[in-house]
Amino acid sequence: MLFGAAALFAVLSALTWRRVFLVVCSALFVWVQNPEWLDVFTLLGFVLSGYFAARILVWRPSTTFLALYIIALTTAFVVLKRYDFLVLVGGESLLAHAIDLVGLSFIFFRQIHYVVDVRQGEIKELPLWGYLAYQLNPFTLLAGPIQRYQRFHEDWQALKSTFPDAHALRLALLRILLGVIKVSFIGEALWQIATGAALVPDGTPDWAQRLLLFYCFPAYVYFNFVGYCDIVIAGAALFGIRVPENFDRPYLARNMIDFWTRWHRTLSFWIRDYIFTPLYMFIARRQPAWAANSVFLCYFVALFLAGVWHGATWNFVIFGLLNGVGVAAAKLWENAIVARSGRKGLKVYLESKPIRWIAGIATIHFVCLTQIFLRPGSEDNFVSVWNALSRGLGL
């Protein structure tokens, strides 16, 4: 279907027709993913609110309005995604709606980026169809990468594939094929191994099966996600859309800070630009004396929110907590080395090959530990463990 659409797209000579074609493809894709009319209207309402908020911000620039809009958008997001913690604040009623939206998590982040950058004067042109095409882009709707509006807007002006020669086109097609292999064969095989190890018919998995599950699930997640990115990045290029790269050998990371610059990079950079940086600069500008210590809080908050964003159930809270702790600990460790041996000592430490190996092995195992809480069914395990702990503590 992708190749057929790309072939049809390539013969459209007028930009207007290419834009119409992309918008129609986007609409069809959204409808296939969200077939109920209530879901479609809710999604459109969510998306269009960003456009109208941007229009208001251009007409009457106001940081207060921006903040209120982001709070309202986040509230809508949390309710639509049915976050478990809503039970604590509003009871079951807030979880009782029938709306189920595919693509909402990434739309949410792109929307915040859009309105913030409009408010800061970094986005000046606000074409409605360009905005809708950006938000509902089939190549980034389901699972990212999180593309920035400015880059998409540049591409929207031409929407023509920019392969310099036939060889480059062949490489893109090969990348799509490799992506399919990663998802459908390697990833699928790892999933079968991982779930086979988890779902043993005769009781609790033994230590060997737990070990297999411990390593195979993260490997499955990697190949599944990287393969998906190969397909959408190369596929989007056929339509003249530059989708950013999302992975850089993440399992070679030396610590959790390094890991998050290699894994789901567009998410990391979004977290850096729209959570970590504003939070840190808010504190550092007003209280410079607090800056050095506030960085650990900023790292923790940023990665905790990134973790929680992944899902609505309590296991993702644990995932977020572990990642927050891991990143903050990595920064603390670096500071301890600098305090003991200075910047030159840190350089020697970073260049040491044995230390690089140990750090890499420790990091990959910590990542595998955090991903226990991404596994399907881990929310039930969390509830069981929490109930057992509560009984044990007499709560």
H helical segments located in the chain: 2-10, 15-33, 37-59, 63-80, 86-90, 104-119, 128-135, 149-156, 166-181, 188-198, 207-237, 256-260, 265-271, 277-286, 291-309, 314-351, 353-370, 378-392
DSSP state of 143: T
Q: Is 178 helix (H, G, I), strand (E, B) or coil?
A: helix
Q: What x-and-dash track marks residues 68-107 binding another protein by CB under 8 A?
A: ----------------------------------------
DSSP state of 290: G
Q: What one-character-per-residue DSSP string does 9-61 give? A: HHT--SHHHHHHHHHHHHHHHHHHHS-SHHHHHHHHHHHHHHHHHHHHHHHS-
Q: Is 353 helix (H, G, I), strand (E, B) or coil?
A: helix
Q: Which of 62, 74, 75, 150 binds another protein (CB under 8 A)?
A: 150
Q: Which is nearer to another protein, 245 or 380 (CB)?
A: 245
Residue 284 binds another protein, judged by CB under 8 A: yes
The piece of 153-161, 172-180, 247-255, 273-281 that touches another protein (CB under 8 A) is: 273-281
In order of 47, 99, 155, 291, the CA distances from 136 in angstroms are 9, 18, 15, 39
Residue 352 binds another protein, judged by CB under 8 A: no
Taking the C-alpha atoms of residue 370 and residue 90, their distance in angstroms, rounded to an integer, is: 29
Q: What x-and-dash track marks residues 208-247 binding another protein by CB under 8 A?
A: ----------------------------------------
Q: Which of 35, 278, 376, 377 binds another protein (CB under 8 A)?
A: 278
Closest distance between another protein and the C-beta of residue 240, in Å? 21
Taking the C-alpha atoms of residue 349 and residue 334, their distance in angstroms, rounded to an integer, is: 10
The piece of 100-108, 205-213, 278-286, 306-314 that touches another protein (CB under 8 A) is: 278-286
Closest distance between another protein and the C-beta of residue 277, in Å? 6
Q: Which is nearer to another protein, 112 or 318 (CB)?
A: 112
Q: Which is nearer to another protein, 343 or 391 (CB)?
A: 343
Q: Which is nearer to another protein, 120 or 390 (CB)?
A: 120
Site size with another protein, rule: CB under 8 A = 24
Contact 141, 29 (CB under 8 A): yes
Q: What one-character-per-residue DSSP string does 224-275 give? A: HHHHHHHHHHHHHHTTT--PPP--S-GGG-SSHHHHHTTSSHHHHHHHIIII
Q: Which of 35, 45, 91, 121 binds another protein (CB under 8 A)?
A: 121
Count of other CB atoms within 10 angstroms of residue 42: 20
Residue 62 binds another protein, judged by CB under 8 A: no
Taking the C-alpha atoms of residue 88 and residue 96, their distance in angstroms, rounded to an integer, is: 14
Considering only residues 288 through 347, tell me which ones interact with another protein, judged by CB under 8 A.
291, 295, 331, 343-344, 346-347
Closest distance between another protein and the C-beta of residue 253, in Å? 15
The piece of 5-13, 60-68, 281-289, 382-390 that touches another protein (CB under 8 A) is: 281-289
- Tokens of residue 81, six digits: 């995604």
The piece of 22-30, 50-58, 277-285, 378-386 that touches another protein (CB under 8 A) is: 277-285
Q: Which of 117, 155, 230, 258 binds another protein (CB under 8 A)?
A: 117
159: Cα separation from own chain's centroid: 25
The piece of 12-20, 139-147, 231-239, 266-274 that touches another protein (CB under 8 A) is: 266-274
**Which spans of this chain sit near another protein (rule: CB under 8 A)?**
116-117, 120-122, 148, 150, 269, 272-274, 277-278, 280-281, 284-285, 291, 295, 331, 343-344, 346-347
